[in-house]
Chain A
Amino acid sequence: MSVTLDRTEGKAERPLFESADWGFETIQRCHDEIAKIAIDELGLDVYPNQIEVIGTEQMIDAYSSIGMPLFYKHWSFGKQFARNEAMYRAGMQGLAYEIVINSNPCISYIMEENTATMQTLVIAHAAFGHNHFFKNNYVFRQWTDADGILDYLEFARDYIMSCEERYGEAAVERLLDAAHALMSHAVHRYPRKRTNDLRSEEKRERERRLHDEQVFNDLWRTVPGKENTRHDPTAEERRRALLQLPQENILYFMEKTAPRLAPWQREILRIVRIIAQYFYPQIQTKVMNEGCATYVHYKIMNRLHEKGLLTDGAMVEFLKSHTNVVFQPDFDDPRYSGMNPYALGFAMMQDIERICTNPTEEDYQWFPHIAGTQDYMAVLRDVWANYRDESFILQFLSPHLVRQFGLFHVMDDSGEPNLRVEAIHDERGYRKIKQALAKHYDVSWFAPDIQVVDVNLAADRRLILHHRALNKVLLEEKDARLVLQHLADLWGYDVLMKEVDPATDSVLKEHTASPRAGVIQSDPS
């Protein structure tokens, strides 16, 4: 795959469209031209596309059910819808131009109100940028099943509907309330160990024997060794091993272990946690995902313009919209609300291209493996496949970008009277800033670390959780109490949560909750 684009080819006879109006043929033509560039020139690898045209109300609707085309019913989605609709009507919030779903075929929603230029942009952005990322990034490959998600959602919707018919809407709603409250702690952060099948077990055994034979030396037998001290597990250790404790996936633990849930309740918990797991990769790859899509649409739109397929007017319209998207206000700007993932992602992708094609002395020092390799698309494709936000920033945030953004690192210790500037964009600061920024995108850093640590099923069945309060940042108390109440209802017995300082293992705070009768479990204890 050559990345040097052939600039000498002839210009297209006429552009794809000349007015803001579009029809289905326009979309088809745009898609085909974009596909040529994306597949042949950029070397992207995408799921087949399905583009769906929807109206405003449907867009708000899609928003409200976390972007999924079909979803079970719950009041919280109605709340979202009401909020979004009111905001939209009041003009306080525009609508996204598109929503894209990680499924096979990859479904992109485009709004009917968009102009032809915007539709082209959206197709390039969602149907190729996001699509490539979904299909290739390792986090998505590991955690999501693009082929099955729509079928699963359909199953989930029907199952929950049938539960509502059998057990009543109120009972299902209360269960879903509890499950949603715990949804943020319903993911497996690490792939679980799979038990080996017989064949691989056999193979391993053979290899081990072979190795033993190769290194066999009778002398070892005569060397006096340590007493063979077998560690006898205590009752507590055995119990914890049996229940797979500590466990950070709280809903999983509830589903498998909660003593008094009915089978249908376990199934609904499972549905909620599987959906949570499906969205877990998106949380970890905001910057990369948007960066990839933005970089791809920028490349494609420019190529279309070069080929004469986009009019100058359309190009200006695109650039205006693109600039809005990648705008990063400074920290003292009233518009500032955190780092813009589009801006950071896009800047880093462009920076990688610069490092590959036009490196400086500094780049050779910092990125010896990619500086000056010229084939930047290969590097980018590799990056998109094998990193998530945290590792990506840790690896590829260049001093050039730190300077460009003017990044600085402020430490806020509630024990001190003042904030302190730890690092700025200078020789001593680059590495610190890179590490600190990467940490911001590390799930285990921004999400509270809460684990089920112990429960004695044979005794009072009290569930004990630990929150390891990183840097002594405690949980929001009111919310924590409410969620614990839900947890106690699910568990059916008392729940105790300790907030522990991981540095010293001292308990900073404790919360307890007791189940309410008749909320989740029907029979009173």
Chain B
Amino acid sequence: MHIVDRRLNPSGKNLANRQRFMRRAKAQIRKAVHESAGSRSIKDADEGGEVVLPAQGVHEPTFRRSGSGGIRDHLLPGNKEYIAGDTIQRPPSGGGGGGNEGSPDGEGEDDFRFALSRDEFVDLFLEDLELPDLAKRRVVNAEAPVWHRAGYSVSGSPANLALNRTVRNSLSRRIALRRPKPEELQALRDEIEALSGEDDEARRVELEEELRRKERRTGLIPFIDPIDVRYKRFDPMPRPVAQAVMFCLMDVSGSMTEHMKDLAKRFYVLLYIFLKRRYKNVDVVFIRHTHQASEVDEDTFFNSPETGGTVVSTALEEMQRVIDERYNPDNWNIYAAQASDGDNTASDNDKTASLLTKQILPACQYYAYLEVGRDSEHFPPGFIRRDSDLWQTYSTIIRAGAPMAMRKVGHRRDIYPVFRELFAKKTGSEVTPA
């Protein structure tokens, strides 16, 4: 008998089949992912997990006998009361006597559920999306350099000893200097051993002389000389790293309800996941504002209540301050997402517009404005209502061709479609009136 331990075999043998299956069911999986993105809590949106596919999509048909009609007989165990000739009322589901045979292959037509890995999920989730203007990339000093092999050197640490190269050098040197080989010495010794008798005396002396000479030569020419030794050489290579900073601006004045904040949060999380996938380093800056603005941490941003008027320009000023202080636009890809219910103090609109066009937008890769409305305010497309102050202000800016986009969102289920719209490939910055 043999025992073979197969546990160490490479895992993921079925990966190729899985990929084929994913490709096959791509359209359905994509749909399922988008649906589940709506239902699952956005916090773990990038966690991967189970999706459910409709059974027909990946169905494998066979010839099989139908589950109903015709004459069929059932053999059932556990008779307690029946005697031959009894009649039993037909069970409603069409099964016979409680023993529905089901489909012969034992697989019902249930929906097909299976688990996606995190990467698979995010890939599908953010498929076809693209970040506008990925131009800026820079070399960052803070990032550790990458070491690349770069030939050999004569000095280095013993751990990097290039054994092959060293022995090769030693061999060529030994050949060049004619260092006697051990076999040669052994042959000489054997020959001396074999010689016996007086008449060979002369020959013997001659051989011993030669042996001595060779042994001396062996001693003088080392097997490995320091001159042979080579080390693998590694050179540091600076790695260009693209980095991004994401500004989350939100109006937290009294007019923003919890529902609106929730919508905004969902949008920010999506944006974060998305940026995270494109950039190794993503910084997030939270700026909230009422009639005055401040940079806060995430928790305060979403949870702590604040009251006051609404002056949007303060937030933009704060953002400008942070940019000047920490995020030089030459080095950072700057993305900004602003969420608001659209209110602004009337006198502030002009200031906001000029701040945006003159300072913020030139520094930004992309600026997204999300106008959140109440759930009940979710109007069907084409419904006309008065646009908010901010919306009107921003519309004029966008018409001038700035890298900016805006959308209106009224319900949680709209977040993802809107997000996709904003970042869909080849959609530039244009406005579609909501």
**A and B interact:** yes
Q: Do B114 and A83 touch (CB < 8 A)?
A: yes
Q: Which of B122-146 contact A (CB under 8 A)?
A: none
> Beyond A73-B17, A448-B65, is A472–B115 a contact (Cβ under 8 Å)?
no
B164 interfacial by beta-carbon distance below 8 Å: no
- What total of chain B residues lie within 8 Å of the partner, measured CB to CB? 66
Contact partner of B74 among A51, A65, A409, CB < 8 A? A409
> Beyond A82-B18, A412-B74, A419-B90, is A51–B112 a contact (Cβ under 8 Å)?
no
Q: Do B61 and A82 touch (CB < 8 A)?
A: no
Of all chain B residues, the one with the shortest Cβ separation from A467 is B63
Roughly how many angstroms separate A75 CA and B74 CA in the complex, as a whole number?
Answer: 36
A217 interfacial by beta-carbon distance below 8 Å: no
B60 interfacial by beta-carbon distance below 8 Å: yes
Report chain B residues within 8 Å CB of A182: 63
Please indicate which of the listed interface residues B21, B63, B68, B70 has the most CB atoms of chain A within 10 Å of its own CB.
B63
Select the stretch in A24-32, A139-147, A198-206 that faces chain B: A24-32
Chain A proximity mask over B65-90: 1 for CB below 8 Å, otherwise 0: 11111111111111110111111111
Q: Do A421 and B87 touch (CB < 8 A)?
A: yes
> Beyond A64-B17, A75-B21, A418-B87, is A410–B62 a contact (Cβ under 8 Å)?
no
Chain A proximity mask over B392-418: 1 for CB below 8 Å, otherwise 0: 000000000000000000000000000
Contact partner of A331 among B19, B84, B98, CB < 8 A? B98
Report chain B residues within 8 Å CB of A439: 73
Q: Do B64 and A52 touch (CB < 8 A)?
A: no
> Beyond A78-B20, A469-B70, is A338–B101 a contact (Cβ under 8 Å)?
yes
Report chain A residues within 8 Å CB of B82: 408, 421, 424
Q: Do B71 and A472 touch (CB < 8 A)?
A: yes
> Beyond A73-B17, A338-B101, A483-B61, is A411–B3 a contact (Cβ under 8 Å)?
no
> Beyond A332-B78, A436-B75, is A27–B96 a contact (Cβ under 8 Å)?
no
Report chain A residues within 8 Å CB of B98: 331-332, 336
Q: Do A418 and B88 touch (CB < 8 A)?
A: yes
Report chain A residues within 8 Å CB of B22: 78
Roughly how many angstroms separate A367 CA and B114 CA in the complex, as a whole number?
Answer: 52
Q: Do A424 and B84 touch (CB < 8 A)?
A: yes
Q: Do B74 and A77 touch (CB < 8 A)?
A: no
A53 interfacial by beta-carbon distance below 8 Å: yes
Q: Do B1 and A473 touch (CB < 8 A)?
A: no
Chain A proximity mask over B139-179: 1 for CB below 8 Å, otherwise 0: 00000000000000000000000000000000000000000
Please indicate which of the listed interface residues B59, B98, B112 has the most CB atoms of chain A within 10 Å of its own CB.
B98
> Beyond A31-B1, A49-B2, is A414–B65 a contact (Cβ under 8 Å)?
no
Q: Do A74 and B20 touch (CB < 8 A)?
A: yes
A43 interfacial by beta-carbon distance below 8 Å: no
Roughly how many angstroms separate A351 CA and B14 CA in the complex, as a whole number?
Answer: 43
Q: Which of A312-354 contact B (CB under 8 A)?
A: 328-333, 336-339
Select the stretch in B4-12, B188-196, B325-333 that faces chain A: B4-12
A382 interfacial by beta-carbon distance below 8 Å: no
Contact partner of A421 among B65, B86, B102, CB < 8 A? B86
Q: Do A51 and B4 touch (CB < 8 A)?
A: yes
Contact partner of B11 among A57, A184, A422, A479, CB < 8 A? A57
Please indicate which of the listed interface residues A61, A181, A486 has the most CB atoms of chain B within 10 Å of its own CB.
A61
B212 interfacial by beta-carbon distance below 8 Å: no
Q: Which of A219-245 contact B (CB under 8 A)?
A: none
Q: Do A74 and B99 touch (CB < 8 A)?
A: no
Roughly how many angstroms separate A420 CA and B89 CA in the complex, as a whole number?
Answer: 9
Roughly how many angstroms separate A433 CA and B101 CA in the complex, as a whole number?
Answer: 18
Of all chain A residues, the one with the shortest Cβ separation from B89 is A418
A262 interfacial by beta-carbon distance below 8 Å: no
B24 interfacial by beta-carbon distance below 8 Å: yes
Q: Do B14 and A78 touch (CB < 8 A)?
A: yes
Q: Do A412 and B64 touch (CB < 8 A)?
A: no
Q: Do B23 and A414 touch (CB < 8 A)?
A: no
Contact partner of B99 among A64, A331, A467, CB < 8 A? A331
Q: Do A407 and B63 touch (CB < 8 A)?
A: no
Chain B proximity mask over A413-434: 1 for CB below 8 Å, otherwise 0: 1110111111111101100010
A360 interfacial by beta-carbon distance below 8 Å: no
B375 interfacial by beta-carbon distance below 8 Å: no
Q: Do A414 and B68 touch (CB < 8 A)?
A: yes
Q: Which of A97-121 contact B (CB under 8 A)?
A: 105, 109, 112
Q: Do A183 and B72 touch (CB < 8 A)?
A: no
> What's the least CB distance linking A203 to chain B, in Å?
43
> Beyond A51-B1, A474-B65, A479-B63, is A173–B79 a contact (Cβ under 8 Å)?
no
Roughly how many angstroms separate A309 CA and B2 CA in the complex, as a whole number?
Answer: 22
Residues of B within 8 A of A (CB): 1-7, 9, 11-14, 16-25, 50, 58-80, 82-90, 96-99, 101-102, 104, 112-115
Interface pairs (21), CB distance under 8 Å: A52-B3, A58-B9, A58-B11, A75-B21, A79-B25, A82-B21, A109-B6, A328-B77, A332-B98, A407-B77, A409-B75, A410-B99, A412-B72, A414-B70, A414-B71, A419-B87, A421-B83, A421-B85, A422-B84, A423-B84, A474-B65
Residues of A within 8 A of B (CB): 24, 27-28, 31-32, 35, 48-55, 57-58, 60-61, 64-65, 73-79, 81-83, 85-86, 89, 105, 109, 112, 127, 169, 173, 177, 180-185, 328-333, 336-339, 405-415, 417-426, 428-429, 433, 436-437, 439-440, 446, 448, 450, 467, 469, 471-480, 482-483, 486
Sorted nearest first, the 8 A-B pairs with minimum C-beta distance are A330-B78, A78-B21, A78-B17, A473-B70, A82-B114, A482-B61, A331-B76, A75-B20
